[in-house]
Amino acid sequence: MNQHYLPQTYLKSFHISPKNGNVWIYNKKTKKIYYRPSKKIFSKKDFFTLHGAEEALKYYGEKISKDNNKYSMEQELQKMESKIGRILKKLKEQGHIDQNEIKTIIEWAAWIHTVTNAVNNNNIQKLPNHQKTEILIDIFEKILPIFESKNWKIGIAEKKENLFSSDKPISLFDIKSLNNNINLSNALISFPLTNKTLLIGSPAKKIQFLPCKPVPKEIILLANFLTYSQSEKLVIINDKVEMENFLNYMLNGIQEKHKMAPKQT
């Protein structure tokens, strides 16, 4: 059974229209833009399933469901995702959420960061499911306090601006470490919650939850650049033209850098 590591309750915020289950996808490998139902992306077969009651009881206790002699934590994840869905709906309709809801979102963000990194880690994927599950839970428990130690705020995009998401929607940014070895503790965290709302976590000595506020288009552009550059393969959006404009902007920027680079003699 295919199990989504990025849930539909999240992906529907990036649908082309409320009645359309498709999203626009840019494939970084093929360099093509196409649309596809969101339910057909970001899933793996039996990703959250353990084979055998003994393993399931060991890792999940009573928080398991049985389906054809397979035990899964997906049912428990669906409960969490339902709660997240209600929060995201409130955020989209009312433009704000309370501190307890932000705390729930932050915990979920830590889980999404854990899972999407594991999906793209070949060493983890080769492990038996019970070992993979143990590693996922261990990583999550280690990084959750780091997520909880940040200053958090939610930025709202302007009407004409849209946020991307991807197969790795949580991006890290540290101006002192502009390479792939970014320390999570020192990094700014960017997570597009919907196509119009951006969760931003920054290092802080004192934890704060700041109110939702509009952010300038430059912040949205930076967030989209981080999402694009740190994705593994697929970037999604609800607006094809905006994706094309972004790609042209990136291409023009690269060409300008080549023009300005000193010629070798």
96: number of Cβ within 10 Å = 14
Query: Quick one: three-class SS letters along the chain?
Result: CEEECCCHHHHHHHCCECCECEEEEEECCCCEEEEEEHHHCCEEECCCEEECHHHHHHHHCCCCEEECCEEECHHHHHHHHHHHHHHHHHHHHHCCCCHHHHHHHHHHHHHHHHHHHHHCCHHHHCCCHHHHHHHHHHHHHHHHHHHHCCEEEEEECCCCCCCCEECCCCEEECCCCCCCCCCCCCCEEEEECCCCEEEEEECCCCCCECCCEECCHHHHHHHHHHHHHHCCCEEEECCHHHHHHHHHHHHHHHHHHHHHCCCCC
Render pLDDT for 145-179 as a digit per residue (tens, 0 to 9).
999 999 999 999 988 899 999 999 999 998 776 55
CB-CB contact of 172 with 146 (8 Å): no
Question: pLDDT value at position 47?
Answer: 67
Spatial CB neighbours of 25, under 8 Å, sequence gap ≥ 6:
33, 34, 35, 36, 41, 234, 235, 236
- pLDDT of the residue at 227: 96
The predicted structure's pLDDT at residue 178 = 59
- What is residue 251's predicted lDDT score, i.e. its pLDDT? 77
pLDDT under 70: residue ranges of the chain: 1-2, 46-76, 177-180, 206-207, 253-265
What pLDDT is stored for residue 262 in this prediction? 42
Distance in angstroms (rounded) separating the CA atoms of residues 193 and 77: 18
Where b means 16+ CB within 10 Å and e means fewer, 48-86 reads bbbeeeebbeebbeeebeeeeebbbbbeebbeebeebbe
- Select from 99, 230, 92 the least CA-distant residue to 171: 230
Cβ 198 vs Cβ 154: under 8 Å = yes
Query: What pLDDT, on the 0 to 100 scale, is given for residue 260?
Result: 41
